[in-house]
Structure 1
Amino acid sequence: MSQSPIRTNSDYKVSHALTGPYLPTPGKVPGWPFAEMGRWKIDVNGAADDWVRGFTEWRHEHLIRIGFDDTLYRRPELAWAQRNFVHALLMVEDRYFFDPATGRYTVDRYLDDLETRFGGVDSVLIWYIYPNIGVDDRSQFDLIEALPGGIEGLKGAVADFHRRGVKVFLPTMPWDNGTRAHDRPDWERMAALIKATGADGINGDTYSGVPRAFQEACDSLDCSVVLQPETTSQAGDHILSWNLQSWTKRVPNESIPTVLKLKWLEPRHIINIENRWSRDRNNDLQHAFFNGVGYTAWENVFGLWNQLTERDAETLRRVALVQRQFAALIVSAEWRPYELTLQAGVFASRFPGDAVDLWTLINRNEYAVDGEQFAVPHVAGCAYFDAWNGVDLTPRIDGDRAVFALELEGRGFGAVVARAPGGKTGDLQPFLDRMRDLAATPLAAYSAQWSSAPQKLVVVEKTRSRAASEDMIAIPAGDFDFAVRGVVIEGYANEGVDFQYPWETSARRSHHRRMQVEAFWIDRFPVTNGQFKTFLDDSGYRPADDGNFLHHWQDGAPPIGGENKPVTWVSIEDARTYAAWAGKRLPREWEWQYAAQGTDGRRYPWGNDWDPRAAPEPGCGREMPVPADIGAHPSGASPFGVMDMVGNVWQWTDEYVDEHLRAAVLRGGSNYQPQGSHWYFPQAYRLDEHGKYLLMAPSKDRSAGIGFRCAADL
């Protein structure tokens, strides 16, 4: 079809059933007889006016149906949410945010990097819980206390962001009901954290609309807060009244851009488009520009560094510059998507203001489109600007119309501003100068090639030769099929997930190598509390960062009856220091697996089938059980006679580092299995599985579920 038929109001009634975050594109209203016809048959210009008229009527009725109240949107202290165009999820383990060498937060370094690469951010979500939560029974609220400096340390980091004009969100997770219980509901705990840290917003992880209780709890403590759910697709649109922002995911990549429903219902509601695994963000950025919404610049994705390509980073810089300059227009109540255009595949939105209008254009074609792009009613004395290229614009005047000729790159962008007599835009010249300088280099000149971050294995120094001892077992040299896969929850089979072994060209989830393992010694048992006490007494060791160090000890000594249990609440640095004192080192991961598995590829140290007598019974309560004494499960011995390899405490082995992240390889699993969510740190009892544990600082890395054993060169 070339043009949509005229529709009556009844044709739009089916839209009341909309539950997703997107509105149908022109020519695809639910229930229309041509809803699934090919896009090549749709005349968007012919359908757009009908679409806008119908959905404007639907919006009016739908806001009544959901009882929409815009009180919070009118609160001056929350108005910053309407300018929050670039948002980042910040992992606390990011080495640009926290320097483990100095033990200090480095907010300026983090923000300087983002400004250099894509123009900076308006807000960050400081993420300190997942994916490590569940390695022990610390809850989401315990983990903020474990940050370097605790809540006071985080408060200082928040202040550093504020000094740079960046707002801060903190996360909350309704699924965390399997770790240690607390005596107050989540909204009260979060309100107290917002008050204590000075943060500005709450992000609801997995929330389909953050409950109003969080708003009320913060109001009761006289703190202003913006609620930001991960999604809104299932909660119902009524949450729009108190969720002033939201995320949306995986915007459809079709030839006709999609209108985001909540933005259409309330133009002051800034959505941040989130597509964490994408390596080509052009579609997301075009939708952000077309809809007048924001973008979640998420690169550190739970331990995978998914950096924006050069082209996407430069695109985000320019998109955000236009949006920030004309933020007041972007939230215009009279926003009109699908303005009529003159070229196929080019789409425009109009954001009108008081005698000033902004049009944003996107070219959905892969090729450049030059020539006249769109026409608007002309007002005598009106000044026009090409806001994307930073120059004055002289349209062709055709009667009462101004016709604009622009060149749009393939998959590119454009922006036009019209200022009628009396319109106020302030001094546009600095902005235009900046855009003109940027436009001198087309987006196509920037690389769109993505690559994963190279990782390096932390070097382990060889030990001196040592005599045989009863506490260690000699493992002979031999050929070994080292086959292991990461059980990290996120990332699927994407390049960059898990670790990059020295013989691999990039990080990946599954690893397999036939290798020659040199002979080595390995501890028969994990290091115990008693042995660690001897080390402390002899060496006088005290870590510089002693947060949570031997947290379970009492008055500097192991708990009564705990001398023969594996020591826990020690960081990988603590374990390395002990090993050096003992003339040993931590085992390489393949050494650990070889000692546990032998040469027959068995799943567990004792064989291919799980034997409940060979390891402690897992604890599934909200408080983790204490570890079993070493040697309490002799039937769990490996083919070489190594004991307690699986199911008692996780064991430190190797560490990998890239430019932004550190992570340790944990082996063996523990006796703790928190229930109620698949998001908890997954167990890895099988010998062909390992855990990836993100490292930040010893105070946070130490855990009730992680111990270690030592190795030495033979």
Structure 2
Amino acid sequence: MTHERWQRTVAYLNDLKDRFGGVDQVLLWAGYPNLGVDTRSNLDLMDSLPGGLHSAVDAFRQANPKLLIQLPYKPWDIATNGLGQHDPSRYADLMARAGADGLNLDTMDSLGPFVVPPSQSKPEMPVTEFFAAARQAGLQHAIIEPELGLYDGLFLLNTTAQGWLYTLAQCPPVVGCSERTPFAPLVSLQKWIARGSMPHVCGRWSTQRSQEILTAYFNAIGYAAWENIFGIWNGINPRDAELLKRAMLILRHFGHFLSDPGVAWLPFYPVQKLTSKGENVYVSKFVGSDRELFLIINTGLQTADAQDWMLQVPQSDHFRFYDLYRGDDVHLERVNTCLVKSCNERIHRAQTAQLHLSVEGGGIGAILKVRVGKMHPNDRDFLRRMGTATEKPLSSFADKVSLAKQTYHPGDGGAGTLSNTGGMVVVNGSAAFEFRVVGSEIEDTYRGGQNFVKLGVDVQFPWEDEAVKYHVAHNVSIKDLLVDKFPVTNEMFAAFLKETSYVPVAWSSLWT
């Protein structure tokens, strides 16, 4: 691994950390737009990464030793990879050689689709097959993650702990969410059944991410921060980035607690909604032996203040409450009422704590209930850090992303002359050539002839106002051209480099 590659990896991860709190897992995708250009399969393309796949994995490992790294499996790659024969063992070997942590099964759920040779009729369970092959290769804890989640394959939870969730946030998968609107969160069945599971809420086309982020936070699961959609840039806006950063600070700090099978989970814990502003506050409660954690979301557009909603919790003098989000104590009132059956036998000691705090519209909150004297020093430090991290309201951050404009910088007009025109042919120019072109991005932002999301896709030519994939025909003036009769081969390019001693500026990004 070169020092330059390591520096680029560090810079990339630092950018993600600065903008939205960083990532815990990456998927190395070496497919689009190169797959299909030649006879190389998706395995070949991963091995063709500069320095090899192991070098790419190693760059991330050195930049962040805790980072989990996945590789993609593309079952639809049948033109260069056959019908998938022996794929589980081949990919398990690739993971082992590269030092990767798992495999993402692109376009697949836990039961398929999985290309099966015509002679084979037995049912296929690819998650199980890839998991078994990984264990056979010595990878005892490989992450086998179907892109489309588990669905009817919940019985396969013993072989996978992840999965993408396009629909959990209720944003249309094809077009995503473009506006912030009030909603009631859904509960992840996978997380409900297996507390240690970590599915990811995903919405590639959403230009407003808060619905997905709030849903992930409510369920204490992951969020796929997908910005580069195979060449189409859909960046997370500053407000959503800050929301994600704050949500992940809390989820990461209490990660072991939230994934502990011994911790009970009570989604939709009862909330007293006192005014219309409190109608969209929802609470998800996690109960351990000596602490309780309340994850709070406000899916409404307005701030729900202390007078708009209230959380009532069974209470005794042996516990204290902390506002984790703001790093402070919680304002509470004690009343002599009983909320649980167990207190009926000791009604003289029954009390209820009525907790009041403000939650910004489209924002989050968190309350920690801990036994007196049992507050861990790390939690105290975390309170102080959160108090600093949440000083600015989310409303102070920009809620939109402006499309990046591209500018044209003309060259010298071809002032140079060719001394060797052998093997070249003349292409006659035109004073009024009708220029027509469409971008080659594999994904699209058009459905039914309509542009469903406004994103900067492809190229902005000098006569255009913004980058688009589908370019309107435009007349341009073109001089006569001299063009090589045949494509330049790798051998010819290697000879050119040797003869001229030319070194490309972006040498490390060239395919080898």
* TM-score tier (shorter): 0.7 to 0.9
2:101 to 193, 200, 209: 200
Shift of 1:287: 0.4
Which structure 2 residues correspond to residues 226-265 of structure 1 after superposition, within 5 A? 226-232=143-149, 234-250=151-167, 251-252=169-170, 255-265=183-193
Q: CA RMSD of the aligned region, Å?
A: 3.1
Select which of 445, 448, 464 maps to 2:416: 464
The residue that corresponds to 2:511 in the other structure is 699
Letter of the 1:407 counterpart: S
Q: CA deviation at 1:451?
A: 2.4
Matched, 1:501 2:461: yes
Could you say what secondary structure the match of 1:289 adopts? helix
Q: Distance in 2 between matches of 1:217 and 1:530?
A: 36
C-alpha distance in 2, partners of 1:325/1:531? 54
Contact 2:460 2:468 in 1 (8 A): yes
Query: Is it true that 1:297 corresponds to 2:222 in the alignment?
Result: no
- Of the three residues 121, 128, 135, the one matched with 2:37 is 135
Q: Any conservation in 2 of the 1:305–1:453 contact (CA below 8 Å)?
A: no
Cα distance between partner residues in 2 of 1:527 and 1:257:
55
1:325-370 per-position Cα deviation (integer Å, ceiling 9, x unaligned): 1123322541011111112221111011112001111112111111
Where relative contact order (Cα < 8 A, 6+ residues apart) is larger, the structure is 1
Q: Say if 1:192 and 1:539 are closer, same or farther in 2 by CA, change over 3 A.
A: closer
1:335 aligned to which of 237, 240, 265: 265
- What is the rounded CA distance, in whole Å, between the counterparts of 2:392 and 2:386 in structure 1? 10
SS in 1 for 2:157: helix
Structure 1 433/443 Cα, relative in aligned 2: closer, same or farther at 3 Å?
same
**1:129 and 1:459, CA in 2 relative to 1: closer, same or farther beyond 3 A?**
farther
Note the 1:346-425 alignment, pairs <5 A: 346-371=281-306, 372-399=309-336, 400-421=351-372, 423=374, 425=376
User: Corresponding residue for 2:387?
Assistant: 436
- Relative to structure 1, the CA distance from residue 380 to residue 170 in structure 2 (aligned partners, 3 Å threshold; closer, same or farther) is same
Structure 2 unmatched runs, 5+: 111-125, 172-181, 274-278, 337-350, 447-452
Per the alignment, do residues 285 and 524 of structure 1 end up closer, same or farther by CA in structure 2, a change over 3 Å counting? closer
In structure 1, distance between residues paired with 2:2 and 2:404: 19
Q: Which residue number in structure 2 is paired with residue 30 of structure 1?
A: none
For 1:564-587, what per-residue CA distance to the aligned partner results, in whole angstroms no more than 9, with x for missing partners?
A: xxxxxxxxx9xxxxxxxxxxxxxx
Deviations 1:412-431 (A, max 9, x none): 21111100246454432221
CA drift of 1:519 comes to 1.7
Given candidates 58, 73, 76, the residue that maps to 1:175 is 76
Matches within 5 A, 1:55-70: none
Q: How far apart are the structure 1 equivalents of 2:81 and 2:408?
A: 34
Alpha-carbon distance between aligned partners in 2 of 1:395 and 1:152, rounded to the nearest angstrom: 55
Q: Does 1:483 align with 2:420?
A: no
Over 3 Å counting, the alpha-carbon distance change for 1:405 and 1:482 in structure 2 is same
Residue number in structure 1 paired with 2:474: 514
Deviation track 1:97-134 (CA, whole Å, cap 9, x = no partner) reads: 999xx566622111111111111111111111233211
Among candidates 197, 211, 225, match of residue 127 of structure 2? 211
Residues 320 and 473 of structure 1, relative CA distance in 2, 3 Å threshold = same
How far apart are the structure 1 equivalents of 2:153 and 2:484? 57
Q: Distance in 1 between matches of 2:216 and 2:131?
A: 27
Q: State how 1:7-156 maps to structure 2 within 5 Å.
A: 106-156=8-58
Amino acid at match of 1:483: R
* Cα distance change, pair 696–515 in 1 and its aligned pair in 2 (3 A): farther
Give me the whole-angstrom Cα distance separating, in 2, the residues matched to 1:168 and 1:342: 43
8 Å CA contact 2:54, 2:99 repeated in 1: no
Cα distance between partner residues in 2 of 1:330 and 1:529: 55
For 1:639-686, what per-residue CA distance to the aligned partner results, in whole angstroms no more than 9, with x for missing partners? xxxxxxxxxxxxxxxxxxxxxxx9xxxxxxxxxxxxxxxxxxxxxxxx
Deviation at 1:315, TM superposition (A): 0.4
Cα distance in 1, alignment partners of residues 206 and 488 from structure 2: 45
Which structure has the bigger radius of gyration? 1
Asked if the contact 2:435/2:476 (under 8 Å) is kept, the reply is: no
* Deviation of the 1:214 alpha carbon: 1.5
Task: Write the deviation string for residues 115-157 of structure 1: whole angstroms up to 9, x where unpaired.
Answer: 1111111111111123321111100111112111113423422
Structure 1 residues 487 and 256: CA distance shift in structure 2, 3 A:
same
Paired residue type of 1:374: L
Q: Please point out which of 184, 199, 215 is paired with 1:271.
A: 199
Aligned to 2:276: none
Given that 2:75 and 2:84 are in contact with CA atoms closer than 8 Å, whether structure 1 keeps it comes out as no
Q: CA deviation at 1:166?
A: 1.4
Q: How far apart in 1 are the matches of 2:222 and 2:406?
A: 31
SS of alignment partner, residue 34 of structure 2: coil
Check whether the contact 1:336–1:351 (CA below 8 A) recurs between aligned residues: yes
CA contact (8 A) 1:329 1:358 kept: no
Q: Decide which of 499, 509, 512 is 1:540's aligned counterpart.
A: 499
1:175-219 CA-partner distances (Å, limit 9, x unpaired)? 211115599612112211221122112111112025212221221
Moved more, 133-142 or 212-221: 212-221
Please name the residue that 1:446 is paired with: 397
Question: Alignment length, in residue pairs?
Answer: 453
- What is the distance in 2 between the residues matched to 1:234 and 1:473? 59
CA distance in 1 between partners of 2:401 and 2:498 (Å)? 48
Structure 1 CA distance for aligned equivalents of residues 304 and 6 of structure 2: 50
Match of 2:241 among 298, 313, 329: 313
SS in 2 for 1:362: strand
Equivalent-residue separation in structure 1 for 2:191 and 2:488 (angstroms): 58
Give me the whole-angstrom Cα distance separating, in 2, the residues matched to 1:287 and 1:466: 61
**What is the SS of the residue equivalent to 1:419?**
strand
Q: Which of 76, 84, 89 is the matching residue for 1:188?
A: 89
